[in-house]
Amino acid sequence: MVGVVVHHLLGNRGDRIPYKVANGSTIAKNAVCELTSPMTVISQTNADTPIVGVAAHEKVPADGHLWMSVITNAVVIAKVKTDVTVGLNVSMDADDGTIDNATSLDDEKGYVLGMALETATAGELAMVRMIK
C-alpha cells in the first residue's frame, strides 16, 4: 500500500484545502502530503516533516497545474509498522508509508497524521481519524 486509503470523507467532502505544487511534481492520489514553504506540498518522502493531509487527486509532472487539493478531514486506513493504540496520535513513516504511535515531538512539530481509531500491531491495517 502506498500512502493511505480514504475510508470516509468528513466535513465538506474532506474539507479540502488548495496548496501550491511545483509543475514538475509527481504526487499519487491518496499520498500523504508534506508541507514546504511557501504553502507548497510534496509527496511525503522525508521523516519528521509537517503533514497537511492526503492528496485528493493525482499530480503528474509538467501538466501545468500549480495547485493541488489536499483532503484534511477524513477517516483513512493505513498499514501499521510496529503498533498503534486506540486514542493515541499516530505519525507516518516516510520510508515505507506505515504508521506508528506518535512521540511527543511529533505532536509538537506537526508530524502527526491523526488519531488511531483502533489498536493494531505490525502489518495490520488501522483506521485513523485525520484532521489537519
Domain identity same for 79 and 103: yes
Distance CA 112, CA 128 (A): 11
Q: Is the pLDDT of residue 42 over 90?
A: yes
pLDDT in the model for residue 2: 58
Position 1 confidence tier, pLDDT thresholds 50, 70, 90: very low
Domain identity same for 41 and 20: yes
Nearest to residue 19, comparing CAs of 1, 5, 46, 37?
A: 37
* Per-residue model confidence as pLDDT tens digits over 105-127: 888 888 999 999 999 999 999 99
Q: Find residue 115's DSSP bridge partners.
A: 89, 129
Q: Which residue is listed with cell 508509508? A: 97
Span 80-109, mean pLDDT?
Answer: 91
The overall average pLDDT reported for the chain is: 93
Domain identity same for 94 and 127: yes
What is the domain count for the chain?
2
- The answer, yes or no, to whether the previous bond of 38 is cis (omega within 30 of 0) is yes
* Per-residue model confidence as pLDDT tens digits over 67-85: 999 999 999 999 999 999 9
Span 62-67, mean pLDDT?
Answer: 95
Domain identity same for 81 and 113: yes
Domain identity same for 82 and 56: no
More confident of the two residues 46 and 28:
28
Position 131 confidence tier, pLDDT thresholds 50, 70, 90: confident
Of 72, 99, 118, which closes a domain? 72
Residue 89 lies in a domain: yes
Q: Determine what percent of the chain is predicted with pLDDT higher than 90.
A: 81
What's the pTM value of the predicted model, to 2 decimals?
0.92
Domain identity same for 80 and 40: no
Of 55, 72, 89, which closes a domain? 72
Residue 115 lies in a domain: yes
- Domain range for 55 is 11-72
E strand or H helix at 101 = strand 99-101
Signed CA dihedral, 37, 57, 132, 97: sign only: negative
Of 46, 72, 98, which closes a domain? 72
Write out the three cell numbers for 11.
466535513
Residue 2 lies in a domain: no
